[in-house]
Structures are given as structure tokens and as C-alpha cells.
Structure 1
Amino acid sequence: MKARGKSILLSLCCLLLVIAVAGCQNASPSATNETATATDSQDKKVSSDEKSLDEQVFPKDEVVDVKITLDPDDFHDMLDNASAEEYKTASVEYNGIKFDNVAVRTKGNLSLRSVVQMTDSDRYSFKISFDEYVNQNLFGITKINLNNNYSDASYMCEFLTYELAESVGLPTPKYSFVNVYVNDELKGFYLAVEQIGDAYLERNFGNSYGALYKGEMTGQGSDLTWLGDDPSLYTGLVMKSAKSNDDILIDMLNELNNGTDYEKYIDVEESLKYIALNAVTANMDSYLGGNKQNYYLYEDEGVFSILPWDYNMAFGGMGSADVLIDEPTQGALAERPLIAKLLANDEYKAKYHEIVSEMINSFLADDTFQARMDELDTMISSYVKADPSAFYTFEQYEEGIKSVKTFMSNMANNLQQQLDSITPSSGDGSGSGMGGGMGGGGFGGVTQGEQTNTDAQAAQGGFIGGPGGAPGAMGGPTIPEGENGPGGGGMGGALQQKGNTSEAITTGVAILLLLLTAIFVTFYKRKRL
């Protein structure tokens, strides 16, 4: 009887074991399906947010209102102490979407210092942070910059450069024209630009957990030259992500400067597009220029991308249009290894030339580019005319548009001749030598003394001493813009719960197997030899 009982018990154990194993096998497809469902749901969320951003926050075919309301004393303190870039609590209505407990502050670098020195203007750029005090976001975005169009009589330079970047597939922040109101009073006509953060990274890279750095002129290493394997030496590469594996950054810089396997650590094609973007628009307020700033580096699974940022000085705003496409630096080419090393590779240089050709023969072709500027002029001219704090008169705005058109037409012809080997595309390695004043294309052909705000000339000074010269009247170090990294909020919505049904099934099966083992050991004993 006892033997029969053991036999029945063993049979029952075997049956339960078969059921348990089957449960494990079924759990795997379930987990896969649930993961796929979660991924699909997240993709739909990103897609839905992006559609809302394009239609309600950053439309390209209309001007939206941004209304900021805050304590008048706080606003006056913000303006009186603009260099402190201190957040103040405000309510914001962005194209009809209302938020309370929003943080607002002044922002900028050269533009901020320049306006601080003006006695007849307080037209600062502003940063809106939706999640500084509470967990909230605007369709996933937590921070938006309201740029004052400093040094751009046409109001279009940054807008057009971002459009050009988009046309060649560069990851580009969202942007649009806005009318900014403070306490129900029109402050000015601005350009809104999404801060590079979690939402931007999720859209363009499918994740936001990589290391994010910003190149700033206040430290060393933003030229990406090799300073050694100590990460603390690279003070010009300011970390904007919550954390980073510094070894990855050092590995990239080491390979760029001392190796040849660039594609192991760098998105080469994207880097070539970035170089071309700044070269064809003669934007020296970038990695190409003497200040080697205004760019981001993002590390995605060990590979770095260089991201476009800050283009109010594009179209020659910091110098002439004499750009050598194979030596497009303001200073020695060797001091910009990302350019020097990539363009020393014949395959990469050929690809770079293709990108330059595509830009000047499509988006920047005379008919296309000038027609686009005319479209924008039709859309924004009435807002420019009504701008109460404009740096320029409306007549200077009109001249600025003509100047940018002329600049780009001449620039495109120059670049095409270089591509066709009619004129040299490189020199002796000393760079394109673009120094000089801040007039030209960026000012829309308006001399500095002709600005509406007469103190602007003194504040802006001019770039002296040739390549890499500092702003003549500014002096001293720049004021870091102080972005607080990608910011919280991520893509918005509730946090996902940890675990899922498949994990529960697997845990239950494991417990059942342990129970069966215990029963087996208890009731079935081997005979001694």
C-alpha cells in the first residue's frame, strides 16, 4: 500500500512538473507580447506628442502667443539682475494651454551680456522651465527657450538654419515664431526653441539615458583635442545628463585624436552634416569658430553625435563669407580634430562634398531659398512691425532680408566653385581666417551704428584680432547658459509600473518547482547500498 502511495505521489509530481514547464514556455511569448505592446504604446505616445508639438506648440505656418504672468516685483528684479539668471515663479499660457508653478528666467551668453550693457533696452531672452517646481510638461517638453533674435535684423537666421538642418536629416530641436507677453503687455516678437532634453533625445535616438555634454568656451577641451585620460581636464565639455561613463568620452577623444577607427565612437555621417551646416552658413559661433561652443554631444550606446544648437549668428554674423569648405575653421584646422581628421579621409571628404552640394543646390538654391524667405516675410512682417522692443527698425528688417538673400547667393556661388575645383577649397592649414566685425550677413547689411538701440554698438563691440578674437567691448569670460540638463518629466504621463504578468507567472512556476522538489525528497528515499 505504501509503495502504491509513493507511485501515485510520484505520478502526481510528474504531472505537476509537466504543467509547470508548460507554464514557463507559455510565459515567454506572453512576456514578448507584453513588451511589444508596451513598446508600441510608447511609440504611439511619442508620435502623438510630436504631432501635438508640431500643431500646437511649434507650428511653422503661424505665430502663437506665449503669455507669462508673474509678480511685477519679481519681473523687475529679474530684469535688474539679469546676469544672475535666477528663476522666478510664474504662470504661463502657451498658445492657450495654461500652466501654473512654472519657472522663468533670463538666459543667454553674448546676447545677455550685451543687453545688460544697453541703457535703452531690456529685451532679454528667456527660458521657461515647466518642471522646475512640479512634475509637469508640455507634450513631453520640460524647457523652452524664447530667443530675442539678437544680432539678426532679418529675424530669420536661426529659423532658416534649423530648417536647413532638418532638410538633411540632422536631429533638430523644435522651433517656431512667437509673440511674448509679460503681465498682459506685449514684450516682443521672439523665436521659441525646444531645449535639448529628454523629449528631443527620445524622438531622435529612441532613448534619453546616454551621456549628454555641451561644448562651452569657458573651459578647455570643447575643441575636442586630446588633453589626457583625466576627464576632469575637459572643463569645456559640461555634462548635462544626470550621469555619464567618463571612460566612453575619453575613449572617443583618444580615438579621434590618436586613432583612425572613428566610426567605432562617432556618428561620422552626422558629424559631416554638422560641419557642412555651419560651413555653408558661415556660422562661426559654433565648433568651427574661435569660441568652439554652441553644440551638444550625445552618446548613444557608445557612439557620439554632435548636435546643432544656437544659430542667430548664422549667415555670416561673425565674419565674412570667405569660407574654405575643406578648411572651414576660424583658426588652425588642426585645432578642430573632428573636422581635420574626418576631412583627411578621402571617403569622408567625398561624402562631405556631396552634403555641401545637396545643401546649396536644394534648400539654399537661389529660387528655393529666396522664395522661402518671402513666405516667412509674409507671415511675420506685421509682427516685426509691431514689435515694441525690436533691436532694429522695420526698414532695417527689410534690408536685413535682402542682405541675407545676397549673402547666401554669393556664398553658394563661392562654394560651388570650390566643389568644381575652380577656386581652392583649402589653404595652408591656418583656417579660413574669418575675423572682422560682426556686420555682414548676420546684421543684414546694417552697420552696428545703425541699430535702433544706440547702445547696442558699444555693447556688441566687434570681433577684434582676427580668428578667435574676443568681443571687443565685452571682455571677460562668458556667462554659462546654465541649462539644468535634459530635465525631468521625460516623455510625460505616468511612470510605468515595474514588472509585468510574465514575471508573476515565472515566479509562481519557480515556487511550484521548489515545492515539488521538497515533496519528492520527503517521500521518496533511495535504498542504501
Structure 2
Amino acid sequence: MEYCSPMTMQKLLTAFTVFLVAITIKAQTEGDQLFATDQVVTIELTFTQEGFWDSLVANYETASYMLADLDITDQTGTYSFPQIGVRLKGNSSYGHPGNKKSFKIDFNEYVSGQNYDGLKKLNFSNNFKDPTFLREKIYSDLCLSNDLPAPRTSYADVYMNGTHWGFYTVIEQIDDQFLDWNMEDDGGNMFKAGDAFDGPGGEADLVYYGADQSSYTERYEIENNEDLNDWTDLIAFIDFINNTTDAEFETGIDDRLETDQYLRSMAMDNLFSNLDAYINSARNYYIYHHEGTGRWNWIKWDCNEAFGSYQGGPMGGGLSMTELDLHYVNNSRPLLERIMEIDGMQARFDDALCYWINGDFSSAKIQEEIDRYYELIKPYVYADENKMYTDIQFENNIYEDITTGGGPGGGTIFGLMSFMEARLDFVEGALDCTAVVAIDESSAHDAFFCRPNPAGQVVWVQTIEPERITVFDLKGQQVLQAASGWVDISALPEGLYILRSDSGNTTRLSVVR
């Protein structure tokens, strides 16, 4: 047996410790310090300028940043950031009465490389038109737990120059870091849908307006690769959407779009009547052209008016948000219109609807989310003297509709649970999903999962004991059986699948190429 000196042993232990730390760091995603824990962080902004608020308001139209110092207190401690940028943001939310406006901070605006747990920018939403302070948070959670690209969210209590400014929802920035963490690719073009608040003519509707790039610059904003400023790929995608036959569209769309992801995203917007989105207003989304796959990825954004709160939808035509047609799409939304018009594509959309109906689109799931956050946020909501609604409206709107006065954010606002109950009553009679395999979340076990997920060729299926796994498509058809462990999925078409073990546990798998 060879002798190992104390010095050699110390070096080995040090190397092993560094290795373990490296693994731990790699396993974490930047921003987890803020977003991975249910918490309310404290944000303290200090401006040296006299009349700082008037200056922030004056800078709103030009989206110009102002200099400030920032202290963030989270569950791990207090972190100070000198010289960060602050600006007001928002469109309809800017109509929030008083000084509680939505805003953005940029750690890099004045100090290059400055960040908070890897984050370079953060958005703070004033919860305009949401007495519950829960809509954005719940919707984001549901997106992320169902593998839909969307920003992470948290909560913050905000102070400006020592004055309590209010309670906010913190929203992750969609940028190159987001792409790295979610797509493992950030070299392709990413576009943001324009706001279209200047009336018709500015919607990010994905209608083809010719080959000239200038025809699209009022409708979309390029978010990266600005130096190249090459919109050729976006225009080619829009051309395909609008100027192909039904057969060409149906056979070619999966080569150009993460279609199942997109269908689940649209189905979610429909079921939750989130109409300040592509299906109606053609706003509040990003699309990213993945360099590795060559396909476009749909990214959700700004979902604070889910649960039927958007008042610019079809209500003017007498249609209730709780009885929104399951195939509803506003005029001139060709990507979704074509899906609804082609039988095979509409069937795939119905599968996506059933995915939600048999999964997280349930009163029980929403109640679970409410229970998770209500006690956490309640004292901060009550302490917010600048909030848009009263404490009683906060409490009541979780479970029942409320009616407020006129002006921005006024009118009838659906309660979270009252909306769910009415919408579920309508949906139950509109679509039969009984033939589609459902996931029984109560039977799921932490030791039953598959990795990686999404996967393309093989996947590791973890079970408590070795057992048989059956794979179903969303129509409930059995497509594969195998033993737990490494499973070859190379023969499965792209899409979503349900894995069920012989012991009754279920989980989801997304197959991509």
C-alpha cells in the first residue's frame, strides 16, 4: 500500500472540495437567490438628485435611466450596488393612480459587469388591474412547471429615498442570460412584440407585409444582434406562415417552430382568458430563433391580465370571458388562424387544450397556488398605502368578482376562483378530454422523474424500484413500453408524452430533435 503524505492528502481534499463546489454552482441557475425561494425581498433605492421623482417621470417617454444606489435584502443578507440605472416603464400600468409606477433597474447601466446573482436587469410590476397581487405570479409558475419559456417572478417591498413606495412583483428580464438558461443558445435573433398602443397598424400579428424590413419595425423590436440588425429570418418565417398552402404549412411548420410548445402556450392563454396576448391583442410575447434547432421558440411576457381581466377583448361583442370559445382567435392572427382552419392542426391544438384540462387547469391547482403565497404577501399588501385597491378588495377578489369605480383598472374584475369555476363549467361542456391520459399529481413521487427533459434520443427514467414504464401520447395512445433506467426514445415523434409506471406514478416528457 502506497503512503499518502499529509500534504498530498490535503491537496486531494482541496481539489475534491473545489470539484464539489463547481458541481453545486453549475447545478444552480443565476438568479435562484431571488427566484428559487418564496420570499419578499426589500429594495431600497437612493437618489441623490433633488426632485428625483419628477425627473423619473420626465424620462418616461424616452426610457432614459436615472442614477441611483441600491440595497437589496433577501433571505441570505443585504447586498449594495452603487450607481445602478432606474427608469419607469409600462403602458396601461402607467395609468396606476399616484406615484406607484412600474419600473426597471439596470445593474450595468453605469458600472459594467455589475450584477445581482448573475442578473443584469430586473422589472418591477405595480400589479395594475390585479387586486390579488397573484395573477402574474400564478401564471408564471404554471408556465414554468409545464416547460413553457416564461420569466421567473418574485416579490419585493420597495423604498425610495427612505419612503415606502409599495409592494411589487419582480419579473425576470428576457435577455441573453434568459436564453442561455432556458435555451442553452443565445446566438439567434430574438424579437419582442411591439405594444401597438398607437392603434391599428402596429400589432405584432405575424401578417406578411412584404420583404422590406421597414414594414415590420413598428411591429417588432429586435432584442439582440442589434449591430447586424438582420431581420431576414423573421420575415422568412412570416412569409411561410402567410403564403403557403395548407399542406405545405402542416408539413413544414414543425421544422420552423417549436409547435407543441406554441400550441400549449396558446391553449393556456385561451383557457385562462389571457387576452392581452397574441390570440387577441397580438402583444406581450417574444420569439427566439434557436441557432441549434433552426426553430422559433415562443416566450410569454406580461400576463398580469390573465383570469379574464383584459377588457380589450371580445367582451364588446357580448361574449363573456368565462365562455370564450375554445378556438377563439382575433382577426388577422395568421399563425393561430391557420392552425384552427386545418383539421390536423386543430386536432393538435385540442390535444394541447386537453393537456391543460387534464392537468393544471383546475380549481384545486389554483387554490394550491393561492395557499402557497397568500400568507406570504398579505402583510405587505396591507402595508402598501399606494396600492390601487383596498385590503377588502384584495381579500375578496381571490374568491369572487368585484366591481370598482371608473378610470384605469376600474369595472368588474373576475375573482381568481370564481373565474375558474365558471370557466371550468363552460369548458367541461365544450370539449371531451376523457380519452386523453391525465397526470395524477397526487400520485407523483419525487423519485419518479425523467432526465434530461426535454430529450431527443435517450432519457433516464428514475423509479424507486425497477419497473415497467408505459409511454402515452396526448391522445391516450400507448406508444412505447420499456424498463426504467435508460430508455430509447429516438423513434418517438416530437411532442409531449405521459410516462406511467406500473406502480401508478405519472410524469411528463417533452421529446425534441
* TM-score normalized with structure 2 length: 0.68
Q: Secondary structure at the match of 1:203?
A: helix
CA distance in 1, matches of 2:156, 2:347: 40
128, 139, 144: which one pairs with 1:161?
A: 139
1:82–1:360: structure 2 CA closer, same or farther, 3 Å change rule?
farther
Structure-1 residue corresponding to 2:115: 137
Shift of 1:46: 7.7
1:44–1:103: structure 2 CA closer, same or farther, 3 Å change rule?
farther
262, 267, 284: which one pairs with 1:294?
A: 284
Contact 2:176 2:224 in 1 (8 A): no
CA distance in 1, matches of 2:102, 2:28: 26
Partner amino acid for 1:262? I
Contact 1:212 1:239 in 2 (8 A): yes
CA distance in 2, matches of 1:310, 1:268: 21
1:46–1:294: structure 2 CA closer, same or farther, 3 Å change rule?
farther
Partner amino acid for 1:64? V
Structure-2 residue corresponding to 1:471: none
Structure-2 residue corresponding to 1:316: 308
Per mean C-alpha deviation after superposition, the further-off stretch among 192-201 and 310-319 is 310-319
Contact 1:79 1:122 in 2 (8 A): no
263, 270, 274: which one pairs with 2:265?
A: 274
Structure-2 residue corresponding to 1:222: 204
Contact 1:167 1:363 in 2 (8 A): no
Shift of 1:62: 1.7
The percent identity for this pair of structures is: 29
Shift of 1:72: 5.0
Contact 1:220 1:236 in 2 (8 A): yes
CA distance in 2, matches of 1:274, 1:251: 22
Name the one with the larger strand percent: 2
1:379-419 CA-to-partner distances (Å, cap 9, x unmatched) read 11111111121111100001111111110121123223221
Structure-1 residue corresponding to 2:220: 237
Aligned residues: 370
67, 78, 99: which one pairs with 1:122?
A: 99
Contact 1:211 1:241 in 2 (8 A): yes
1:369–1:386: structure 2 CA closer, same or farther, 3 Å change rule?
same
Structure-2 residue corresponding to 1:209: 187
Structure-2 residue corresponding to 1:303: 295
Structure possessing the higher radius of gyration over alpha carbons: 1
Contact 2:260 2:352 in 1 (8 A): no
Higher RCO by CA contacts (8 Å cutoff, separation 6 or greater):
1
106, 109, 115: which one pairs with 2:91?
A: 109
**Alignment RMSD:** 2.3
Contact 1:276 1:352 in 2 (8 A): yes
1:78–1:279: structure 2 CA closer, same or farther, 3 Å change rule?
farther
Structure-1 residue corresponding to 2:40: 63
CA distance in 2, matches of 1:362, 1:267: 21
238, 244, 247: which one pairs with 1:253?
A: 238
Q: Secondary structure at the match of 1:140?
A: coil
CA distance in 2, matches of 1:137, 1:299: 26
Is the aligned partner of 1:91 residue 2:69?
Answer: yes
1:195–1:308: structure 2 CA closer, same or farther, 3 Å change rule?
same
1:394–1:274: structure 2 CA closer, same or farther, 3 Å change rule?
same
371, 382, 385: which one pairs with 1:385?
A: 382
Q: Secondary structure at the match of 2:308?
A: coil
Flag structure 2 segments of 5+ consecutive residues without an equivalent.
Answer: 1-18, 312-320, 400-414, 435-513
Shift of 1:80: 4.2
Structure-1 residue corresponding to 2:451: none
1:102-143 CA-to-partner distances (Å, cap 9, x unmatched) read 00011101111x13xx4xx11101100011122222233211
Name the one with the larger helix percent: 1
Shift of 1:242: 2.6
- Aligned pairs for 1:468-479 (under 5 A) are none
1:82–1:60: structure 2 CA closer, same or farther, 3 Å change rule?
farther
1:166–1:276: structure 2 CA closer, same or farther, 3 Å change rule?
same
1:166–1:384: structure 2 CA closer, same or farther, 3 Å change rule?
same
Per mean C-alpha deviation after superposition, the further-off stretch among 209-218 and 121-130 is 209-218
Partner amino acid for 1:411? R
Is the aligned partner of 1:365 residue 2:362?
Answer: yes
CA distance in 1, matches of 2:192, 2:301: 10
371, 375, 388: which one pairs with 1:374?
A: 371
CA distance in 1, matches of 2:203, 2:211: 12
1:49–1:143: structure 2 CA closer, same or farther, 3 Å change rule?
farther
Runs of 4+ in 1 over 4 A off after TM superposition: 43-46
1:241–1:44: structure 2 CA closer, same or farther, 3 Å change rule?
farther
Shift of 1:239: 1.1
Partner amino acid for 2:419? F
Structure-1 residue corresponding to 2:418: 406
Partner amino acid for 1:240? E
Shift of 1:172: 1.8
Q: Secondary structure at the match of 1:414?
A: helix
1:405-463 CA-to-partner distances (Å, cap 9, x unmatched) read 110121123223221299xxxxxxxxxxxxxxxxxxxxxxxxxxxxxxxxxxxxxxxxx
Partner amino acid for 1:412? L
Shift of 1:154: 0.7
Is the aligned partner of 1:285 residue 2:271?
Answer: no
1:85-105 CA-to-partner distances (Å, cap 9, x unmatched) read 331111112222221110001
CA distance in 2, matches of 1:236, 1:376: 36
Partner amino acid for 1:271? Y
Contact 2:83 2:111 in 1 (8 A): yes
Shift of 1:60: 4.2
Per mean C-alpha deviation after superposition, the further-off stretch among 251-260 and 348-357 is 348-357
CA distance in 2, matches of 1:78, 1:408: 42
* TM-score normalized with structure 1 length: 0.66
CA distance in 1, matches of 2:296, 2:109: 28
